[in-house]
């Protein structure tokens, strides 16, 4: 996720662009840049790091001009650096582009452009766009952009400026947000409303497949094919804090609702166009090395460790390789058996978790191949691992992880399928079946989110209690651990998660009248046994909320209430069943009057051991 801002008018654009980028810094903050049309033509300034670094550069050598585009980046392709920062240009330096999203076919486009003599300087997918537009330009920037987008697949919001037509600014939206701000003698573009709220409260919100041509005095909306659109203007009455959260009360809630997009982005170009295979082009590990893997170690902390527990199940089921999961803070102190045939997978949202980084270094010292799953391209974990699967969830602001966790699940599904393809442990038909079901997950998450109000009622009742239990078997147990952690983190309700089959081994002593128990029962093969465990806690007075899959009726006879998730393959249910648990935690915290985004005593990234 990245932030885009653009301006065309009579004022100094540099100041407006910088101000807009600061308002969008929550969307990305590993680098920033601006392109401004000046008396000397199109000029660009970029800087790695926070926007303050860019501001310092512009303070030394300002860019004076009344039209420009700016960008704050969260890397998906290419490590954070000045060169990889946006805006990007073509070889003539006459065309400039800022981009939010992922161009799935950028490698193919890049190869075609290189064959025509284009020279690339960055590692990004975005640079392809500027070269592509330049190659198609015949005196009309609007038409060149329209031609270019026909060649592009993926998600993209674009701001495009050319030195040849400095009185025109082009904006495009395809599966990535973009809005147009309307002023008097000036107009704006932005990824989100906060970027322009100081200057105007009148906006057009572009829909997918739409674009806009901006001049100082007019805005024309049209489809990507050039058919003009008439749309009612939207007047924003939010304050800036609400606007940064896209109208949500808290970043956590916004990030819960970001998950359908995070799922789509993380799958993205990693699924073949025919939907029958997974393509992890970013991995360097060879098929021969994969066939020689004798064991897998998954190492992580907290929420990432819970994702790893799901990953263990997925890899063992799909690839039939034995997998161990370890808490990173314990891993290197137990003298783990690591050989050159061990694949060590480290999982970290930030890529800076101290214990995970230490485990990575120990694994490399012992000769293992290390694969990182992380949300931050330029992080220490990403730099030091042999391979990386980036989860394209975008920045996560709330301390309690939601979309980062579920994106890690998607990464494990992709990896499991990739290993299975290489090893032949699943048939092509079985692999295609999983991929088909994965592609349905974003819409199914949206379906769950539509039922949030029902969960709010349940959570408000839960919030009256000081103790609560989660139970589940198999994958449901892994999700129960994550649900319990979320509840503890932000509501401060004492919560424990147990493998349901362990209840007889002492846990039943803690069950008393009216104590809430959340029972996950989404695994078809384990349903009968889970129902038996539920009856045990019911017999001792527990009030049970069951999480079940659509079409399941037996569970509902044994619980006090149920929440139904859409039907999917058993192996994929964690990507759905955790969503209601995230919402329950959020609403319980809210009911208790807590600071949802900043729970006490916790930090977003744990960078000390």
Strands 387-390 and 467-472 turn out to be unpaired
Strand order in the sheet with 234-235: 41-48, 31-38, 67-73, 3-8, 187-190, 179-182, 202-205, 234-235
Note whether 51 and 72 are within 8 A (CB).
Answer: yes
User: In three state form, how does the secondary structure of 40-108 look?
Assistant: CEEEEEEEECCHHHHHHHHHHCCCCCCEEEEEEECCCCCCCCCCCCCCEECCCCCEEEEEEEEECCHHH
Structure tokens at 235: 């007047």
Residue 295 in 3-state DSSP? strand
Provide the pairing of β-strand 342-348 with 295-300: parallel
Q: What is the DSSP string of 310-326?
A: HHHHHHHHHH---EEEE
Alpha-carbon distance of 387 to 369, in angstroms, equals: 8
Cα(372)–Cα(297) distance, rounded to whole angstroms? 12
Distance CA 490, CA 330 (A): 25
C-alpha span between 137 and 118 (Å, rounded): 14
Tell me how far apart the alpha carbons of residues 491 and 337 are, in angstroms, rounded to a whole number: 39
Task: Report the SS3 class of residue 182.
Answer: strand
Name the residue among 256, 161, 236 with its Cα closest to residue 586: 256
Q: Is 301 among the residues known to form the active site?
A: no
Distance CA 284, CA 269 (A): 17
What's the burial of 446, exposed, middle or buried (CB within 10 Å: 0-12/13-18/19+)? Answer: middle
Q: How far apart are CA 52 and CA 461, in angstroms?
A: 46
Distance CA 468, CA 515 (A): 6
22 catalytic, yes or no?
Answer: no
The residues facing 181 across adjacent strands are 188, 203
d(CA 44, CA 9): 19
Query: What is the DSSP-derived secondary structure letter of residue 57?
Result: H
Q: Do 160 and 170 meet the contact criterion of CB atoms below 8 Å apart?
A: yes
- Strand-strand pairing, 387-390 and 369-374: parallel
Reduced to 3 states (helix: H, G, I; strand: E, B; else coil), residue 186 is coil
| Spacing of C-alpha 316 from chain mean position | 25
Task: Give CA separation, 140 vs 151, 161, 167, in Å.
Answer: 18, 11, 12
Q: CA-to-CA distance for 166 and 29, rounded, in angstroms? A: 28
Residues 567, 159: Cα–Cα separation, whole Å: 40
DSSP 271: B
User: Catalytic residue among 2, 22, 46, 488, which?
Assistant: 2
Nearest to 88 by CA among 119, 115, 61: 119
- Widest pairwise Cα distance in the chain: 81
Alpha helices in 152-192 (DSSP H): none
Catalytic residue numbers? 2, 604
């Amino acid at each position: 996720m990245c932030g885009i801002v653009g301006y065309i008018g009579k004022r100094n654009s540099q100041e407006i662009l910088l101000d807009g980028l600061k308002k969008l810094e929550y969307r990305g903050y590993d680098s920033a840049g601006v392109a401004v049309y000046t008396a000397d033509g199109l000029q660009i300034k970029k800087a790695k790091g926070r926007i303050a670094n860019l501001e310092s550069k512009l303070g030394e050598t300002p860019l004076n001009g009344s039209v420009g585009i700016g960008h704050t980046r969260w890397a998906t392709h290419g490590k954070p650096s000045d060169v990889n920062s946006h805006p990007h240009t073509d070889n003539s330096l006459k065309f400039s582009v800022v981009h939010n999203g992922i161009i799935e076919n950028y490698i193919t486009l890049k190869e075609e452009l290189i064959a025509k003599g284009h020279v690339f300087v960055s590692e990004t997918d975005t640079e392809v766009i500027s070269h592509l537009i330049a190659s198609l330009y015949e005196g009309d920037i609007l038409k060149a952009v329209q031609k270019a987008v026909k060649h592009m697949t993926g998600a993209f919001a674009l701001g495009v400026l050319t030195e040849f037509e400095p009185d025109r600014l082009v904006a495009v939206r395809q599966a990535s947000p973009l809005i147009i701000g309307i002023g008097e003698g000036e107009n704006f573009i932005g990824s989100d409303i906060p970027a322009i709220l100081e200057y105007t409260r009148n906006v057009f919100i572009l829909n997918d497949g739409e674009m806009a041509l901006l001049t100082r005095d007019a805005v024309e909306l049209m489809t990507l094919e050039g058919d003009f659109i008439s749309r009612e203007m939207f007047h924003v009455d939010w304050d800036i804090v609400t606007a940064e959260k896209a109208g949500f009360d808290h970043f956590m809630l916004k990030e819960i609702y970001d998950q359908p997009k995070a799922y789509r982005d993380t799958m993205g170009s990693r699924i073949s166009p025919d939907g029958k295979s997974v393509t992890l082009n970013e991995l360097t590990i060879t098929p021969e090395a994969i066939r020689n893997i004798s064991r897998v170690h998954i190492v992580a902390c907290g929420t990432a460790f819970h994702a790893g527990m799901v990953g263990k199940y997925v890899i063992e089921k799909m690839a039939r390789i034995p997998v161990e999961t370890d808490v990173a803070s314990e891993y290197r102190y137990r003298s783990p058996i690591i050989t050159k045939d061990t694949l060590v997978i480290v999982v970290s949202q930030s890529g800076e978790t101290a214990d995970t980084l230490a485990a990575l270094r120990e694994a490399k010292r012992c000769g293992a191949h290390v694969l990182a799953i992380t949300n931050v391209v330029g992080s220490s974990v990403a730099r030091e691992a042999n391979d990386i699967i980036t989860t394209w969830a975008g920045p996560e602001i709330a301390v309690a992880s939601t979309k980062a966790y579920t994106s890690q699940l998607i990464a494990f599904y992709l990896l499991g399928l990739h290993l299975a393809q290489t090893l032949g442990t699943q048939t092509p038909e079985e692999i295609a079946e999983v991929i088909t079901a994965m592609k349905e997950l974003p819409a199914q998450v949206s379906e769950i989110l539509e039922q949030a109000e029902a969960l709010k009622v349940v959570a408000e009742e839960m919030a009256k209690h000081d103790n609560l239990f989660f139970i589940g078997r198999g994958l449901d147990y892994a999700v129960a651990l994550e649900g319990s952690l979320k509840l503890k983190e932000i509501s401060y309700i004492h919560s424990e998660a147990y493998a349901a089959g362990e209840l007889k081994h002492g846990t039943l002593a803690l069950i008393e009248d009216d104590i809430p128990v959340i029972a996950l029962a989404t695994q078809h093969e384990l349903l009968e046994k889970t129902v038996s465990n539920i009856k045990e806690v019911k017999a001792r007075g527990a009030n049970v909320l069951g999480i079940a899959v659509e079409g399941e009726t037996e569970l509902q006879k044994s619980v006090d209430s149920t929440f139904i998730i859409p039907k999917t393959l058993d192996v994929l249910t964690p990507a759905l069943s955790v969503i209601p648990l995230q919402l329950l935690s959020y609403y319980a915290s809210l009911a208790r009057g807590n600071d949802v985004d900043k729970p006490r005593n916790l930090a977003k990234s744990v960078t000390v051991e």
